[in-house]
Amino acid sequence: RYYNPEAIQIIIKMGVANGVKRIWVGENGLMSTPAVSATIRERGPVWQKAYGSFILTASHNPGGPEEDFGIKYNCENGGPAPDEVTDAIYAKTTTIKSYNICKDFPTIDLSKPGTTTVQADDGSTEVSVEVISSTESHVKLLKSIFDF
């Protein structure tokens, strides 16, 4: 998709600058919407569950030169954010005067699963970016539902 690799790196750096400590990204920056939903709901122990996910997709809020880039947000239940959430997010965007970005955070290799952990120079905090299989959580969920 248009601008996908660049957008992912920017989102990671903005998340880090705003205090996000753990980020999951699909291998090569690709995951189907059902796989994202399964990952949000099923991945990790309860204390590591995702609060939600940004999904880069052309099917929602299309933009880019060929309308092949857009962003949507799925909540902690794995489903699309309800109107009251997206309305609140939109309202916040109308008041943005500046934004935080951690320009010095390293570029993450999205080409293969693995974890990059970066510790602050003073050791006070660390951030973990994990590139995960684009299908593992979804396949695991499907196997628990269907007899393969």
Rounded Cα gap, residues 80 and 64, in angstroms: 22
Rounded Cα gap, residues 130 and 35, in angstroms: 16
Q: Which of 32, 37, 59, 134 is catalytic?
A: 59
Rounded Cα gap, residues 112 and 98, in angstroms: 33
- 3-class secondary-structure state, position 44: coil
> Which tokens is 107 given?
């570029």
Q: Determine the Cα angle at 27 with ends 4 and 36, to 5°.
A: 80
98 annotated active-site: no
Q: Tokens 């684009």 label which residue? A: 134
CA-only gyration radius of the chain, Å? 16
- 3-class secondary-structure state, position 30: coil
List the catalytic residues.
59
